[in-house]
Structure 1
Amino acid sequence: MRHRSAGPLGPLPEFLEQYLAGGAHISDDLGAVPFATPAGDKMWLVCDYALGRQVLSDERFSRAEAVKPHAPQLNDAQPVPNSMMSMDGAEHSRLRRVLTKAFTTGRVNALAPAVERLTDECLDAMAAAGPGADLVEGLATPLPLSVLCSLLGVPLEDSPRFRGWVEVLFDISASTPREKARRRLELADYMSELIERKRREPEDDVLTSMIGAQTRGEISMGELLTMGLTLLMAGYETVVGQTSLSVLALLSDRTAYQDLLDHPERVARTVEELLRLTPSTPLGFTRVAAEPVALGGVTVQTGEAVVVSLLHGNLDGRAFPEPRLIDPQGRDAAHLTFGHGVHRCLGASLARLELQTVLTCLLRRFPNLRLASGPGSVVWKDGLGTRGLSRLIVEW
């Protein structure tokens, strides 16, 4: 049984809006189309699932080249050069090994009771406020922030400061470069102080584990600082957006929500479908060709940039039959929302845990959950490097 389309796509980057509006289709023999970024740089856009996987896993498409000063830029919400997400080859592998040791499956699974408790606390507050609650403010925002603070070892009382810093850094239109630079410095100063505090008073958390790696000489102090900031930023705004988008998709299709009420064992598979259908990360990070690479019917020349539309790859009907429908039985192909290849998201298991917990607790607490009627109940965020909602008013 497949359900109806999972709700609206909402605002997208301008060139993706134009692509959709024009009804364009990437044919099997084309594979990539050129487009101009807001800054006037030429890039190749890949919307094909198979070719997207090729770009994301082919070492000839370099992340390190994409963050050099004169490389084509899509927007200014890009990782810094010494981030693991901006490295290739041995350097990337060295940093990823450190983080993999700190970010174990066991550590994530051990968080499950805390994630459920934090979710229930958010829902308690929503229930007390009564119908007409904003699910973004009441659940989608505080939950991932609390989970990240618990995982990293950040004092929960400091979370409001992080929220303000990170939201400005993900904003690609409203905040000025000077404002972003100031917030980056504030965030870096705070993280440096926290690292030194944990060096003196170690605890059982990811940040303490990474400090141990730095003490052993496996990573530099600068890399430690960047890794801590990267975990915090990447695991916050994306999960906030993904939570609100997933709930909106389900509430836009009461059949799907009812199916989960009747078959709660399908929550995990439904989460995968929601990740595929409505990803908070519509685009992969830019990559630059280190040599000429054939990509479908075109050749990407040395120095040219490529960006993969994860959203369009996830909607490619050749990989996902009836791609705009929720299939509660699951799909054969793996979606691209967490990427593919060596740069695949390390936090995928944590994001899945949070989303599955949110849906399970919502179904249990609010079986009659629905979107509030009237204008203004659903408000999309705009001008961000990620997709999401700034308001989602629900009733029950």
Structure 2
Amino acid sequence: MTDVDDHSRQPFVGFFHGDPHEVLRRIRQEQVVAALPLPDGRTGWLVTRYEHVRAALADPGLSKGELISPLGMRPPMPADVWAATERHMLAADQPDHTRLRRLVQAAFTPGRVDGMTAFVTDVTDRLLDGLAEPGVHDLIREVAFPLPIAVICELLGVPVDDRATFREWVEVIVAGAPRLAEAPAARAALLDYLRRQLTAKRSDPGPDLLSALVAESDGGDRLSDEELTSTAFLLLIAGYDTTANLIGNGAYRLLEERGRWERLRRDPHLLAPAIEELLRHDSPVQLATHRTTTREVTIGGHTIPAGSTVLLSLLSANRDESRFTDPAAFDAGRPANSHLAFGHGIHYCLGAPLARLEARVVFTALLSRYPDMRLPADFVPRWRPSTLMHALESLPVIPQP
């Protein structure tokens, strides 16, 4: 998608050609809702303005229960594999969503997240040790990706010896279109592994989240086997790529203009609001997972027919001029930064506190240990081809401890 006029003619397969911010700005300013022809012949509707995206995220007329891929890019896979990996709260409407979230939230407590601080710090320190070698390092490959998968493995209680293989499966699944042919085997292998882990946790529970999910009960109600594997799958996918993107995108924006990096070095108290600004400025998620209209829906005066696919651009909403002053500028002290990077409404990201924790630990350590870190002079950012995610392909840095 290279021009605002092209979207009415070309099948929409994501913003694959560079940084999409300028394209989204033009769409946002010129159209309330943009009609997009999808690869399977259907028409999708792209919503880009903050007010409309926020309202749509909480609109019960937009269903998350329909699992058909909005872009027709779903790899062929046995129905039982899909069922055992997509019976989670992100793909559920009310009242199922409330039930699933209540059971998961009871196990995924604030105390459990806070209890991960020492582990996150230890892993971060070990990863940053690797940056001490002279030369150019890829911060995404060496830090941004290894950290969240290590955290999720620890959280779920994945044995240390299994984590390398576990990470390989997850990397294939989150890669999307570039590794679509490998996805069925990776998803099936991961599902088989999760099933075996759940069996082991039932007979020998530990302090991990997976054991807690198995044991969690509310008035006799428990997660079914398919709901358990799907929830574990959701925690893996949602907590891996998004957090890695927050770290990668964030480090790039801080290093892109040296004054941002130096300001945080001088005033560490600005780090918390700076992370919120990084989430707004370059949201890790480009498009919220798609919705399907269960009835005729009106957005900004535009009527969308029942049964339509709706794509909500978090990336665009967070740069909307009608909501944020000078939205393209990075402002670590931006007031009232009510961004939508973690969504809104009943599907607001359950893992947001953990993502913020990981970002805080990483950026604190980077600023302290590598105060003179910089980008190579010839670095040109390349954005990863992804329908849902907004992420750099790599981030070369010169650490200079």
Q: Above 0.5 in TM-score?
A: yes
So what's the TM-score if we normalise by structure 2? 0.88
Percent identity between matched residues is 33
Is the deviation greater in 344-353 or in 325-334?
325-334
| Unaligned runs of at least 5 residues, structure 2 | 1-12, 76-81
The match for 1:192 is: 195
Distance 1:299 1:327, change over 3 A: same
1:339-382, Cα deviation, whole Å (9 max, x unpaired): 1000111000000000111111101001101012335x755433
Q: Which residue identity is paired with 1:167?
A: E
Q: Secondary structure of 2:327's partner?
A: coil
Q: Which residue identity is paired with 1:120?
A: D
Distance 1:119 1:14, change over 3 A: closer
CA distance in 2 between partners of 1:272 and 1:130 (Å) = 32
Q: Which residue identity is paired with 1:67?
A: L
The match for 2:313 is: 309
Structure 1 residue 365 corresponds to structure 2 residue 369: yes
Alignment of 1:160-179 (within 5 A): 160-177=164-181, 179=182
Alignment of 1:188-337 (within 5 A): 188-213=191-216, 216-337=220-341
CA distance in 1 between partners of 2:148 and 2:214 (Å) = 23
Alpha-carbon deviation of 1:49? 0.2
Q: Which residue identity is paired with 1:39?
A: D
1:19-51, Cα deviation, whole Å (9 max, x unpaired): 9449634359x5211111233320111000010
Structure 1 residue 89 corresponds to structure 2 residue 94: yes
Structure 1 residue 49 corresponds to structure 2 residue 50: yes
1:56-105, Cα deviation, whole Å (9 max, x unpaired): 001111111x325xx74464399954222111001111110111111111
1:313-347, Cα deviation, whole Å (9 max, x unpaired): 00001111110112221331411111100011100
Q: 2:114 aligns with which of 101, 105, 109?
A: 109
Once superposed, what is the RMSD of the aligned Cα atoms? 2.5
- C-alpha contact 2:286 2:387 (8 A) present in aligned 1: no
Q: What is the number of equivalent residue pairs in this alignment?
A: 379
CA distance in 2 between partners of 1:264 and 1:23 (Å) = 32
Q: Secondary structure of 1:43's partner?
A: strand
The match for 1:340 is: 344
CA distance in 1 between partners of 2:331 and 2:185 (Å) = 45
Q: Secondary structure of 1:224's partner?
A: helix
Q: Which residue identity is paired with 1:381?
A: R
Distance 1:81 1:120, change over 3 A: closer
Distance 1:163 1:32, change over 3 A: same
Structure 1 residue 139 corresponds to structure 2 residue 135: no
- C-alpha contact 1:166 1:237 (8 A) present in aligned 2: no
Q: Secondary structure of 1:236's partner?
A: helix
Distance 1:109 1:190, change over 3 A: same
Distance 1:159 1:310, change over 3 A: same
1:262-307, Cα deviation, whole Å (9 max, x unpaired): 1100001000000111122100111111111211020111111211
Q: Which residue identity is paired with 1:247?
A: A
- C-alpha contact 2:173 2:183 (8 A) present in aligned 1: yes
Alpha-carbon deviation of 1:384? 6.0
Q: Secondary structure of 1:26's partner?
A: helix
The match for 1:76 is: 74
CA distance in 2 between partners of 1:18 and 1:379 (Å) = 11
Q: Which residue identity is paired with 1:239?
A: T
So what's the TM-score if we normalise by structure 1? 0.89
